Amino acid sequence: MAVHVPFRLLLMHRLVTVCPSSQRQAKYRDMLFKVSRSGNEVRTFSTACVKCNNNEADSSESSQPRTELTSRRALLSRSRRPLSPLERISSLLPQDALSPEVMQLREQQPDEDTNIQLSVMHSTQEESGHKVSVNEVNPETFCAEDAEAEANTPSLHHDERQAWPTLPGESLLSFGELLMAEYRKKRRVEFRKMFQLQTGVRLQSSWGTIPHEDMAGQPAGRFLKTSRGVPIFIRRASLEDYVLYMKRGPAIAYPKDATTMLMMMDVTEGDCVLESGSGSGAMSLFLSRAVGSKGSVLSVEVREDHHTRAVSNYKRWRASWSVRRGEEWPDNVQFHNADLCTASSLLAGRGFHAVALDLINPHLALPAVIPHLHPGAVCAVYLANITQVIDLLEGLRCSSLPLLCERIIEVPVREWLVAPALKKDGRYCTRSTPILDGELRQDDASDEPDREEDPDPGFGTVPYIARPHPEQMSHTGQTSIHF
């Protein structure tokens, strides 16, 4: 018996294609439409102190709502101006404590932003309508108006139902599919949930809700805003996501362990595999995909509640897959509620290319399994701790079974956080060429003019910070027995 402890470092990075959202483009499109529509009626507002022209009091009634709008914008811009040091200090003190000199200074302090008086000057009325001449635009007021209008306007994808271009083989989201919703803040996942797209249901979260009708008919991998304006990333659930977030009874075989066991057993399309310990059905799904439509999987579970849960999870994934791909997931798994140690009639006349055991005492089931294994077949045993591994080896020693323990391995997965280095103002840090001679460096800096920093540095000029993720997955143990 040989025990091998391999160690390899494999760095992988998962990239998800993000569908470009049209909400921002539609917003700018509406803004351009407003500008083109009001091409004959240009309105801007000056923040300078201008006295009103009383001779214009006889203007048309259509200009009165416009004047009221400018007044509201002036008040809004006035509330956003910065306070002077005198106003800051005096606002913290009660009015009775202020001296007459301070009150006089406050009244006499020149403040153009506070004493804004708007003057709307109308030119002669022509065929195109009234023309209003102005000096400059208040961007804050304009953005506030757009934000208010956007909040009162229904979502674009809900009303217009744009026809999204699709690639060959691509399909839009439809009811019945399993989706994943994610929200990340500062490169960390704050919210993640798997759900099924249904009619009349909303996605609930602490950051707001999204109606499922707004997701149907949209391409996968795009951001949708909640009722509170928080962008949530919506994508289709992979088999790994489904296994991790599906309803479960017992602990599952994690995807990192299941893929390693598949490599140990060398499962290919068309194989016949025996699984004992269906659990929640995680390993059954991975085996079903590995053997394909030409193979078969026999899954045995001794507990009835675990058996029911595994069958339910298996059917739910198959139903979602048929809606997603338009074709049936292979129905190649046979679930049985029985004890493998006494299920000789169930295994009669069957031969298996590989066996996957997820049991507390797997050495008790091996005598019933060995007569049905092909010569040279691999039995992969999934164990949670090293104590169970010792019990398995002791059981093999006492039973004298023709088995060879090939290796005992642990499959660690270490997540990393890798991000570009940023300054306090949010700009990228850039690499600087080291200069050994400090005096020469000062001379060069004094001779050369100050160069402006590039807001978008080129490739290879930004340093990165890499560190392990603070939340890591716990370890598991595995044993591969080969005879």
Q: Is 254 in contact with 276 (CB distance < 8 Å)?
A: no
Residue ranges of the chain assigned to CATH 3.10.330.20: 172-237
Torsion of CA 30, 31, 36, 41, to 10 degrees: 130
Of the candidates 232, 191, 240, 238, the one whose C-alpha atom is nearest the C-alpha of residue 215 is: 232
Q: Which H helix or E strand runs over 189? A: strand 188-196
Give the confidence band of 58 by pLDDT, cuts at 50, 70, 90: very low
66 Cβ contact partners less than 8 Å away, ≥ 6 residues apart: 43, 120, 132
Within a 10 A sphere around the Cβ of 154, how many other Cβ atoms?
9
Residue ranges of the chain assigned to CATH 3.40.50.150: 242-409
Give the confidence band of 369 by pLDDT, cuts at 50, 70, 90: very high
Name the burial class of residue 2, with classes exposed (0-12), middle (13-18) and buried (19+) by CB atoms within 10 angstroms of its CB: exposed
**Measured over all CA atoms, what is the biggest interatomic distance in the chain, rounded to whole angstroms?**
112
Q: How far apart are the first and last CA of the chain?
A: 11
pLDDT tens digits for range 173-197: 999 999 999 999 877 889 999 999 9
Between CA 411 and CA 40 the distance in angstroms is 70
* 242-409 fold: Rossmann fold (3.40.50)
Between CA 106 and CA 303 the distance in angstroms is 82
Region of 56 please: left (phi>0), alpha (psi -120 to 50) or beta.
Answer: alpha
Percent helix, strand, coil in the chain, to 5, is 35, 20, 45
Q: Is the pTM of this model over 0.75?
A: no
Question: What is the predicted pLDDT for the residue at 163?
Answer: 61
Q: Is 477 in contact with 385 (CB distance < 8 Å)?
A: yes
Between CA 392 and CA 439 the distance in angstroms is 71
Average pLDDT, the chain: 74
Between CA 395 and CA 408 the distance in angstroms is 16
pLDDT value at 155 more than 70:
no
Between CA 400 and CA 300 the distance in angstroms is 25
Q: What are the beta bridge partners of residue 378?
A: 354, 482
What is the dotted CATH code of the domain comprising 172-237?
A: 3.10.330.20
Give just the sign of the alpha carbon dihedral 158, 159, 160, 161. Answer: positive
Across 258-271, average pLDDT: 94
Give the confidence band of 143 by pLDDT, cuts at 50, 70, 90: very low
Q: Which of 37-51, 173-187, 246-260, 281-295: highest mean pLDDT?
A: 281-295
